[in-house]
Structure 1
Amino acid sequence: MNLSIVLFWIIAISIHIVGVVSKTKAPDVSALNVMYSSLNSPSQLSGWGSSGGDPCGDSWEGIQCSGTSVTEIHLSDFGLSGSMGYQLSNLVSVTYFDLSKNNLNGDIPYQLPPNAVHVDLSENSFTGSVPYSISQMGDLNFLNLAHNQLSNQLSDMFGKLPKLKSLDLSYNSISGTLPQSFNKLSSLTTLHLQENQFKGSINVLADLPLDDLNVANNQFTGWIPATLEDINNLETVGNSWSTGPAPPPPPGTAAANKKSNKDKSSNKSSSISGLVIAGIAMGVLVLIAILIALISRRSPPSHYLDEDTNPHRSFTPLTSQELTKGLHNGDDRKSINSDTSVDIKALQNASSGLIRPPPPFDPVQAFSDSQFASRLNSRRSTSVRAISYSLVDLQAATANFSTARLLGEGTIGRVYKAKYGDGKVLAVKKIDSSVFEGRRKEEFSEVVAIISKLRHTNLTEVVGFCSEQGHNMLLYQYFMNGSLHEFLHMSDDFSKPLTWNTRVRIALGTARALEYLHEVCSPSIIHMNIKSSNILLDTDLNPRISDYGLATFYKNRREVPGVGYDAPECKKGSSYTMKSDIYSVGVVMLELLTGRMPFDSSKARAEQSLVWWATPQLHDIDALDKMVDPALRGLYPPKSVSRFADIISLCVQSEPEFRPPSSEVVQALVTLVQRSSMNVRDDLGSSRRVDDYDY
């Protein structure tokens, strides 16, 4: 009997113990307990606690498990503050670790989950250095530390990360040169280093398999390696690149081997060509001597050729294929074959050694930003990238260009919405036929060939064109959010206003697009019609500039390029310059600041012109506070607004020479973001007040 009772209690206790045993490994629980306390015990993390608990069994917020191990932590955009604790190295099974878009601060913990594949700590307020422990994370595939306040130099920590494909360190204050171990990142395809303080050369990147590289707005010097020229997405502006002849690449690099092979091939080819040319020259001299001897027997000795000799007479072939190749570049040089008459000048040049094969292409040749971008574009394609659409198809897609499909009307034509059966939607710009009066027929296709090759994240892509029966149309990406003009001036009381951070982001993106057109494209492209209705907004409210590259059609189209947006010097289209574009961007930024139209005839005369009314008040703190768009309901940082106003005042100066170039406008806006600790990718659906910081 007593034995039965003992067995009963043993079984009961065992069942109880099994029932209370956690489904999560103890080290994982301990690490998450420390993290919760370090994050200031946030209430939004349901299920979490500072002591004990069962993350896997009780489904803690943002935690995913496999068996008894925590494998993924998804805590992006939870409004978290504080730090992540000191026990992250316990999370040995975590492969996905995302705490981006929060308010975390202090140093990034020395040790992160050691076997993580995906780490995203971007858009926080971390300071200090990039932790060296990353060097031990051999499985790391994705690392994003962008939009923080990291500083100091990068340690030489990348030698053992063969699986790393994407690295983003942009929008920090990291300095120094790029570590040599970067050249060990054999899988790296995406590298973003923009908006830091890196210096020195980028030669260490020359042999990486990159297809997306952004090193803009640093302090890099030297030359852009020619091996990077075929990268699909490349941004290099805002550095101090050298423009003189580049030195040879270091021995042992891919570029050096490539050049060496080219040189060997060239030397071999040159040797062969030299022998051939020498032989030909001797043959030519012999032939000429024979001809002279023959002619001298038939004519007076004072003439080499009889004036009546037929200049188109055929001669026996005198050259080989090598010489023919050597002659193909000159306009006045003719290939010599049995069906072509002898070009005496070419023969004389050949005999004197003036005709040589073209020199081999030097892969280490240096280019300026504009030259590099131009060469890159020309190498990628010399044909029109946009698709040709038939007039019949566009008539069907736009309901025969009905008013119901009309999206807007601009300076040179109307824009219609085109809808297709497969769900595709495009915007069709139908250019007025009067624009082409007195112009060459080829002018439209020439413009299409140029603008269809332009690519930038803040440009509206030209995807097609139509030129039939006197109709000339351009097809663009369609954005449901419409234009900035609609957001600022046509929203109803139920629409959510653009937050302050979003407005700054729109200004920055617009300036970046202009920087690309002005300073990267070669030759430079003047937009000439910058206005809020030509700034479209994508699903994330990023700006996309349209109508670029059409300045030739605006010229002499009207006296004033755009009411309210025109710089004082713009009496007519021909006086429009890049600095006039800067003025127009300044007016757009005034719209973002005040919510007012550039010109409003319904207001008192002194307030009708936005620039005239606003400019005198841009440096008056009290007046500036009253100028801010009421739709923001006071949810903005005063110091950020003041800095924004300073940038505007530079752009809208009456004298063009005092306005900054587009790259300086970009840098000023970037500095504004950094000094205000703004998150330029804030929650687009809500407004919140941004704390001010003293600097």
Structure 2
Amino acid sequence: MVRNSELQIYVVAAVGLWVVISTPNCFGFTDPRDILAINSLYAALGFPPLMGWLLAGGDPCYEGWQGVQCVNYNITGIVLNDANLGGELGENLGAFASIIQMDLSNNHIGGSIPYNLPLTLKTLFLFGNQITGSIPESLSTLSQLTDLSLNKNHLSGVIPDSFQQLMALTNLDLSANNLSGTLPPSMANLSSISILHLQNNHLTGVLNVLEDLPLIDLDIENNLFSGPIPPKLLSVPNFRSSGNPFNTTIIRSPSALSPSSTFDTQPPDSSPGIQAFGPSSSDLPHISGQQKSTLSKKVVWLAISGFLILVLLTLGVCFRVSRCRKEKSAIKVGDHMKNSMLNSSSSNPTQHKENGPTLNDNGSNNSLRSSKLKEEKTVTISTNRPPQLLDAEKVDVKPVSVPTTIGGNRSRNVNLPRYFSIASLQQYTNSFSQTNFIGRGMLGTVYKAQLPNNKLLAVKKLENAASRSWSDEAFMNLVSNVSKLRHENIVGLEGYCCEHGQQLLVYEYCKNGTLHEALHVDDSIHEKLSWNARIHLALQAAKALEYLHEVCQPLVVHKNFKSANILLDEELNIRVSDCGLSPLIPLMFNSQLQGSGYGAPELESGSYTYQSDVYSFGVVMLELLTGRKAHDRSRPRGEQFLVRWAVPRLHDIEALSRMVDPSLDAAYSSKSLSRFADIISLCVQAEPEFRPPMSEIVRNLLHMIKLNH
């Protein structure tokens, strides 16, 4: 007998195949594979009343089906939470070609989780349904998965040992099910996990597999876990473990001891693994020799422990006294130096002016342009350099003290930005929830945070392999240098966090997303980008790079300059992000950057210079000019890489006019267009030594704006 759900799938497949064969052009915009997959899902769900959804055919992306998200012609997301859905998930989810998000939470979906899941999934939310069966072992194939929530269902069986490849998983929630058995060994591979919820199941065994994970939120309440809790888990900021039969050492023949002297169980408030001692052996009659020996050993160890604690307390007192003396001495020295400086300043009031650099009207350092620019800007940055701050050897960079916790009070260098604890960032981001998710880049994941005063910030969790290998001291040096980058067109660093193995950067929040989204995704902002507005955006981005290349100390190469790293504030002004983070960029990134369309030709030889940033800037200018992406696989082969396609057309006025973004509706002068193309042509030249410095580009764009007025 064939079940109804299977019959529905066969019917949909047959109808879909007939549609494909008979009318090959009926799909229009959406990828045909996605159409067949979503038709199958619609049948499995029992044909719910969803706007636009069809049993066969249709065009989900073009027609805007309810809950369907698309990029170009691919379905990238299905968000139908709280939609009163029933039925099942079916067995054809794996047919989706590019889906990265699926949220079907808080519905009435039954059946089991299909074995065939889309390999492209990054977030899968199925919580709050009626799903039964076990968690499929095919979970191991979802190597891009970052968030998985299967809580509040009726799942049973053991958790499969399928986490070997889930290096990107940051949030895993399996709570409120009927899961049993021990935790699988492969959970130890979850190197990015920060939130793990396993409460309200029937899980057994010990927790050793979790002890080295970078957790900030761990809930294992109401299970059957035993054994002592690993000490490392006790440092997890938000750890909940009640309702488990955790045990400590069991003493034989407890009946021989009086009720007040038994110590085979642990008091509720005591730390796991630390036993509570009763009266000494001299107060206990009728104790066997073996028990007396055991108690004698415990008394000896207790005495040793007490002596060590006394020594540590004594050292702590000495340390604090010494520290207070040093601080008082430092204050006296500081006061003396301050008085000396005041006296020196009063004797020579113009001294600070003579020693400081002079800036032109654009905020650039004239002396750097004239004397240092040619020497410092052409220095090749070797990809073999160890993780360190870019060009730090050129200036006297003093090491920054790493925050330490003494008596619960955190001390830090006064030159660093605000310090945020993991607990506070968890509160401000709603436990780094998907609703606060902004995006994922090469260095990590970004979440929106809302402070108690309603101020919005952006929190970047550094998660790539390069950052994980950094020491706290190296990270603090990075924070110190990034915090010094202050420019109106650069995203400001508001704070940082370095705690429990986590390294996070807290930035200003930019309301209107990225320039990439404005040009290629968000139509409402795209309409506001007139020709003059685009010239101003190019000028602001150029000023940001000019500041990094020629003004700030030490000079900084960006190394990841692209439209996705250029943010737009509330007034649509440019704010360049990821400035000063090039030491975190992995060595293999050069090839990735070239594949994205922003990489200069010299990256093939393994070098990256300031002129490489100039090349990437020219690609961004091409995006502003054409409205096209730097690399677009959906276009014909000869047009996929924007630079290769556009450069031969930049000096042909007719071809140039045809390649301009159609949304501009020819609202520009041919002279202005030609000047813009000339700047692009200089920036994207194959030889880096022929590309102009950013200060020259700033002057040319300023000249364009003056001519337009």
After TM superposition, the score normalised by the length of structure 1 is 0.44
After TM superposition, the score normalised by the length of structure 2 is 0.43
Higher helix share: 2
